[in-house]
């Protein structure tokens, strides 16, 4: 019995310590953004732009395709209930408030977050972080900040693209391939969207960006010695990112809508 309690205690302490380190790490990055060093601004801007390109521009075709497919599926399924409940209302409830930011975050986790974890782990294992430091460059400033800013702004933009494409594209597909009468549902959506829906979406997108980047960078920096730790770090980071995003999404929805 004592062994079990001891194991639970040790595990709890380990998790608490891990979580506290993660929070401290997040604080250090955010502090660097608020009080940036004077040196390296040009370099940081350039790396941030590259990160936006990798995360937002290169993901655009995938997110548009996914948005059209998911939008048309939801519109197709819920159009059956349009007699009982206004379709516009349902779409606002599901797509804009929850699915939009969450699915965008999921796509970023699958596409970019794992890549960031692997990249940072690789840099750590092969002493590239030490090389940066030996050149007098601050890794927190030139590696972490551009990724945080780049990924967060990319998620924000992609979430807007996702929502618009899912609604308009979804309608377009349903109108093209079925005979379902959609009536004035597009106008219903416009009527049902409130400022709170848009604000919640933006808050979620920003928080998702911060959470995903910090978790991935944290796991990347934790990988120290062996190349075999890199896939483990990538796997852990993506699962934790998804879990954290879902918890945050549910919490924000509860805070705003309950």
Partner 1 sequence: MKLIELTEYSFESKKTGRPFLPFYFSMPPGDVVSISTDSAGDALNFLMALATLVHPLQGEYRYKENILDFSDYRNLLDAKRNIGFITSHSALISNLTVRENLLLMNAYFTNSFSMQLDLRTQELCKLFSLQDKLDMRPADLTDHDYRFVVTVRELAKKPEMLLMEYPEKYIGISNLETLNTVLFNMLGGNMCFVFLSEYQHFIETFSKRELVISRGTLQGVTEGFKGPRVNQGFEDS
Chain residues in the site for partner 1 (CB under 8 A): 39-43, 46, 119, 122-123, 126-128, 130-138, 140, 142
**Alpha carbon of 136 to those of 89, 140, 146: distances in Å?**
55, 12, 18
Min dist. Cβ of residue 105 to partner 1 (A): 25
**Whose Cβ is closer to partner 1: residue 20's or residue 250's?**
20
SS3 sequence, 183-222? CCHHHHHHHHCCHHHHHHHHHHHHHHHHHHHHHHHHHHHH
**Alpha carbon of 69 to those of 47, 56, 82, 143, 170: distances in Å?**
33, 19, 20, 35, 7
Min dist. Cβ of residue 52 to partner 1 (A): 16
Min dist. Cβ of residue 117 to partner 1 (A): 15
Min dist. Cβ of residue 60 to partner 1 (A): 22
**Whose Cβ is closer to partner 1: residue 2's or residue 135's?**
135
Determine the Cα–Cα distance for residues 136 and 138; give it in Å rounded to an integer: 7
Min dist. Cβ of residue 37 to partner 1 (A): 8
**Whose Cβ is closer to partner 1: residue 138's or residue 231's?**
138
> ∠194-203-172 over CA atoms, to 5°?
55
**Whose Cβ is closer to partner 1: residue 74's or residue 143's?**
143
Min dist. Cβ of residue 50 to partner 1 (A): 9
Determine the Cα–Cα distance for residues 234 and 117; give it in Å rounded to an integer: 5
- Provide the sign of the torsion angle of the four alpha carbons 167, 107, 73, 65, taken in this order: positive
**Whose Cβ is closer to partner 1: residue 8's or residue 41's?**
41
- Report residue 151 as tokens: 């990924």
**Whose Cβ is closer to partner 1: residue 19's or residue 126's?**
126
Q: Among candidates 92, 72, 93, 90, which has minimal Cα distance to 81? A: 90
């Amino acid at each position: 019995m004592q062994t079990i309690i001891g194991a639970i205690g040790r595990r709890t302490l380990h998790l608490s310590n891990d979580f506290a380190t993660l929070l401290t790490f997040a604080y250090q990055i955010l502090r660097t953004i608020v009080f940036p060093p004077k040196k390296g601004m040009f370099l940081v801007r350039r790396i941030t732009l590259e990160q936006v390109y990798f995360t937002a521009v290169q993901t655009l075709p995938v997110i548009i395709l996914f948005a059209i497919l998911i939008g048309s599926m939801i519109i197709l399924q819920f159009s059956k209930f349009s007699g009982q409940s206004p379709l516009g209302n349902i779409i606002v409830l599901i797509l804009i408030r929850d699915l939009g930011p969450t699915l965008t975050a999921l796509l970023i986790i699958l596409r970019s977050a794992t890549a960031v974890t692997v990249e940072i782990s690789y840099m750590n294992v092969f002493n590239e972080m030490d090389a940066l430091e030996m050149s007098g460059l601050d890794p927190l400033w030139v590696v972490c900040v551009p990724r945080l800013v780049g990924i967060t702004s990319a998620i924000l933009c992609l979430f807007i693209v996702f929502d618009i494409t899912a609604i308009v594209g979804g309608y377009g597909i349903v109108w093209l391939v079925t005979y379902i009468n959609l009536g004035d549902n597009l106008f219903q959506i416009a009527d049902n969207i409130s400022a709170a829906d848009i604000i919640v979406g933006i808050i979620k997108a920003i928080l998702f960006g911060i959470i995903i980047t910090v978790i991935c960078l944290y796991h990347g920096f934790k990988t120290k010695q062996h190349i075999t730790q890199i896939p483990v770090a990538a796997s852990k980071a993506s699962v934790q990112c998804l879990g954290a995003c879902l918890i945050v999404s549910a919490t924000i929805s509860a805070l705003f809508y309950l």
